[in-house]
Amino acid sequence: IKINSVPTKPIEGQKTGTSGLRKKVKVFMQENYLANWIQSLFNSLPPEDYKNGVLVLGGDGRYFNREAAQIIIKISAGNGVGKILVGKEGLMSTPAVSAVIRGRKANGGFVMSASHNPGGPEYDWGIKFNYSSGQPAPESITDKIYGNTLSISEIKIADIPDVDLSHLGVTMYGNFSVEVLDPVSDYLELMENVFDFELIKSLLSRSDFRFTFDAMHAVSGAYAKPIFVEKLGASSDSIYNGVPLEDFGHGHPDPNLTYAKDLVNIMYSDNGPDFGAASDGDGDRNMILGRGFFVTPSDSVAIIAANAQKAIPYFQSGPKGLARSMPTSGALDRVAEKLNLPFFEVPTGWKFFGNLMDAGKLSICGEESFGTGSDHIREKDGIWAVLAWLSLIAHRNKGNRTGDKLVSVSDIVKEHWETYGRNFFSRYDYEECESKGANQMIEYLRELISQSKTGDKYGNYVLQFADDFTYTDPVDGSVVSKQGVRFVFTDGSRIIFRLSVCDFICPLLLFLLASICLCVSNNFDFLYLQGTGSAGATVRLYIEQFEPDASKHELDAQTALKPLIDLALTVSKLRDFTGREKPTVIT
C-alpha cells in the first residue's frame, strides 16, 4: 500500500486526563487534531509493539466515531500495523475491547469514547489507548504521547479507501488487513466462562423477580439484548433505551441518581421491579438498584467480594486480593480483613489496578464512581457487575421453594451491614467550577494539612492524619503524588477533596475557535465550559463515616453524614472559593 506523508504542526492541550484524551467534538474536528494524537502515539511506542502487529478498535457509538475510525485505521496502516480488529459499525464497549485484546492476543487497542460525558456535535469526544494486557496505557506512555504532540511534524497515513464497517469479515489492503468483528461474541463467551449462566437464568425466569436494565442509549444497548434477553431469558421489555444513538438520545449517559433519573423513578415507584441497573456511554460503569433501594458502588464491590467465592465460578478458589481507589469507602477493607486477603488502596482511575492484577495480587476491585470489576479483563465492567449481582441474588435464593419470599437486593445489603458494619458514604460533585477558585481551594487545603497534626480537634472529630495522597506501585515502584487531600479522623471518618481538572484551552486556540464560531454560526455556546470533563474543573468532595451500630443502619446517608459534610464545607471554605451553594450531583 502507498503511504502518504502529511506535514503537520503541534497543537497544544493534547494531554490525557484520568482516562484518555477528552475534548469537545469541535476541538477534535479541527484539521489533524485526532491525526496528530494518533501519530504521536505511534511515535511513542517501541516499534515492536505495533509493527506488523494487531490492534483492536472500538467505540461507544457517539457522534464523530465514524470519521474517527477511518482516520485511526489509515494512520495505523501508515505506521506499519499489520491488522485492525474493529467492532461492527465501530461499536465495542471498553470492557469488550479489553477482552478482545486479551483473548486474541492483540498488541493493544483504541476506544473511541468520552465515557459518561454527553455526545453529539455540541458535546464531547474522546480516545483511550490500552496495552497488550488490555489495560489503560500507563502515565509513562501517555506522558510520552503528550511530549510528542508538542513536536510532531509529520503524519504517516495509508492511501486506502474508507473501510466498510457495516459487514463482518476481513478486507485485505496489501499486507495490511481489517477484520470487522461482532462486538458481542468474544465478550459473551468470556462472561459465560466467568459466571454460571444457568444459575442466573433460574433467577430471571422466576415470576417473583422482575429485572430492568437501562442502557441509556449507549454502547451496552448492543450487549443487553443478546446477553440478558437472548441468553439469559429476561423479557425483551426489560431493556430500556437499548438502541445506541450518536447523542445518547440527548441524554447524559452517566449511571447515577441524577442522570439515570428515569430508571431511579421506575425503581422507586409503587410495585417497581426487583432489580434495576444502568451502564454508561462506553459500558464500563454500572449502577445497581433494588426496589426502592440504591446500592452505593462502594458497598457493591464489598458485597460482591464477600460473596464471590460461593456465587461466581470464576472465583471458586477465592479472590487473590482486593483493591479500591482512595476515595472509595472502606467497606471493602473490612471484607479483605475478614477474609484475610491482601488489600490495596490506589489512586483514582482504573489504570492503577492493572499492575496488581498482572502480578497475580488482585482479583476484585472498585471505585466509588460506579466502577466495579475484576481480573477477567483490565477495565471496569458494567455488564459484569450486573451479572455478578444477579449471581449473588440467584445464589442466595437457591434453596427457595415456590411461594417463599425472594431475598431481595436490600436484604442482601442490610445483612452485609449487620455483619461488617455500615460505611456511610456520599460524594458531592461541583461541576463547571471556575478553575481558578477550585485550584485556590486545593492550595489552601494543602497549606492546611501541612500545618495539621495528630490530635487536632475538628468539631467533634479528632484528627488522625491529613495528607495529599501519594501512591507507590508495589509492582513497578512508580510513584504518583497529589492524588487527593484527605482528612482522616480517629473514628475512621474521612473527608476527601479532589479536583477533576480538565485541560485548559490555550488562548490562541480559544481565539481561533471563537472566531470560527462567530463566522459560521454566530454562536458561542460551546465555549461556555460544560464541566462535563472536557473543559473546566469539577470539585469532588467525598465523605465517609463508619457505623458499627445496626440500629442506625437504616438512616439516610445524607442525614447520617450531615455533621461531617458541614465540617468539610467549613474546613475547605468551599463556598467562598467556588461561589457554589450546592453541588451539581450528589451520590
As annotated, the active-site residues are: 115
Residue 62 lies near ligand VG1 (rule: CB under 6 A): no
Binding partner of 348, given ligand VG1, Co ion, none, CB within 5-8 angstroms per partner class: ligand VG1
**Does residue 23 interact with ligand VG1 by CB under 6 A?**
no
What DSSP string runs through 366-408? EETTTEEEETTSSS--HHHHHHHHHHHHHHHTTTPPTTSPPP-
Please say which residue, 37 or 350, places its beta carbon nearer to ligand VG1: 350
* Shortest separation between residue 415's beta carbon and Co ion, angstroms: 30
Instruction: Compute φ and ψ for 288, nearest 5 degrees.
Output: -115, 130
From 325, 410, 424, 335, select the one nearest 368 (Cα to Cα). Answer: 325
Instruction: Give Cα separations from 88 to 61, 169, 178, 415 (angstroms).
Output: 10, 10, 11, 44
User: What's the CA gap between 177 and 82, in Å, rounded?
Assistant: 7
* Grid cell 417497581 in the structure block, residue: 272
Residue 154 is inside which H or E element, if any? strand 154-158
Q: Is 367 one of the binding residues for ligand VG1 (CB under 6 A)?
A: yes
By CB under 6 A, name the one of 363, 369, 408, 587 that touches ligand VG1. 369
Say whether residue 254 binds Co ion (CB under 5 A): no
CB 253, min distance to Co ion, A: 9
Region binding ligand VG1 by CB under 6 A among candidate stretches 153-161, 346-354, 463-471, 522-530: 346-354
Q: Which of 24, 62, 74, 116 binds ligand VG1 (CB under 6 A)?
A: 116
What is the smallest separation between the CB atom of 371 and ligand VG1, expressed in angstroms?
6
Q: How far is the CB of 474 from ligand VG1 (least distance, A)?
A: 20
Of 19, 32, 98, 363, the one binding ligand VG1 (CB under 6 A) is 19
Q: Is 124 in the site for ligand VG1 (CB under 6 A)?
A: no
With binding defined as CB under 6 A, does residue 280 bind ligand VG1? yes
For residue 355, state whether it binds ligand VG1 (rule: CB under 6 A). Answer: no
Q: How far apart are CA 350 and CA 371, in angstroms?
A: 8
Contact between 348 and ligand VG1 (CB under 6 A)?
yes
Amino acid of residue 134: G
CB of 280 to Co ion, least distance (A): 4
| Contacting ligand VG1 within 493-522 (CB under 6 A) | 500
Which residue's Cβ has the minimum distance to Co ion? 115
Q: Which is nearer to Co ion, 282 or 375 (CB)?
A: 282
Scanning 27-35, 196-204, 278-286, 307-315 for contacts with ligand VG1 by CB under 6 A, the matching segment is 278-286
Cα distance between residue 229 and residue 177, in whole Å: 34
The conformational region for residue 397 under phi > 0 = left, psi -120 to 50 = alpha, else beta, is alpha
Q: Given candidates 26, 252, 285, 324, which one binds ligand VG1 under the rule CB under 6 A?
A: 285
Judged by CB under 6 A, the chain residues 221 through 240 that form the site for ligand VG1 are none
Under rule CB under 5 A, residue 107 binds Co ion? no
Count, residues near ligand VG1 per rule CB under 6 A = 17
Among positions 14, 93, 115, 374, the unique one binding Co ion when judged by CB under 5 A = 115
Q: Output 180 or 219, the one with its CB closest to ligand VG1.
A: 219
Binding flag, residue 115, ligand VG1 (CB under 6 A): yes
CB closer to ligand VG1, 87 vs 533: 533
Q: Which long-range contacts (CB under 8 A, 24 or more apart) does 442-451 make?
A: 442/485, 442/497, 442/499, 444/572, 444/573, 444/577, 445/485, 445/497, 445/571, 445/572, 446/485, 448/571, 449/485, 449/487
Binding to ligand VG1 by CB under 6 A, coded x per residue (else -) over 160-189, reads ------------------------------
Stretch that binds ligand VG1, among 51-59, 182-190, 367-375, 555-563 (CB under 6 A): 367-375
Stretch near Co ion under the rule CB under 5 A, chosen from 107-115, 151-159, 486-494, 566-574: 107-115
Cα–Cα dist 400/397, whole Å: 5
**How far apart, in Å, are the Cα atoms of 302 and each of 16, 329, 395, 406, 430?**
30, 9, 17, 22, 27
Q: Give which of 373, 504, 361, 380 is closest to 128, Cα–Cα.
A: 380
Nearer to Co ion by Cβ, of 274 and 282: the residue is: 282
DSSP tag of 207: T
Q: Give the integer Cα–Cα distance in Å for 226 and 219.
A: 13
Query: Which residues does 451 contact at the CB level (< 8 Å), separation at least 6?
Result: none
Nearer to Co ion, 115 or 534 (CB): 115
Q: Are 51 and 80 in contact (CB under 8 A)?
A: yes
Residue 371 sits in the site that holds ligand VG1 (CB under 6 A)? yes
CA distances from 122 to 15, 63, 118, 196, 248 (A): 21, 10, 9, 43, 13
- Judged by beta carbon distances under 5 to 8 A according to partner kind, the member of Co ion, ligand VG1, none in contact with residue 217 is none
Sign of CA dihedral 345, 346, 349, 353: negative
Closer of 19 and 40 to ligand VG1 (Cβ): 19
Q: Is the Cβ–Cβ distance between 93 and 60 less than 8 Å?
A: yes
Binding mask 281-320 for Co ion (x = CB under 5 A): -x-xx-----------------------------------
User: What stretches of 413-469 adopt beta strand conformation (E)?
Assistant: 422-433, 457-458, 461-468
Strands (E), 409-536: 422-433, 457-458, 461-468, 471-472, 479-480, 485-489, 494-501
> Which residues of this protein are in contact with Co ion, per CB under 5 A?
115, 280, 282, 284-285
> Which residues of this protein are in contact with ligand VG1, per CB under 6 A?
18-19, 115-116, 280, 284-285, 325, 348-350, 367, 369, 371, 500, 533, 540
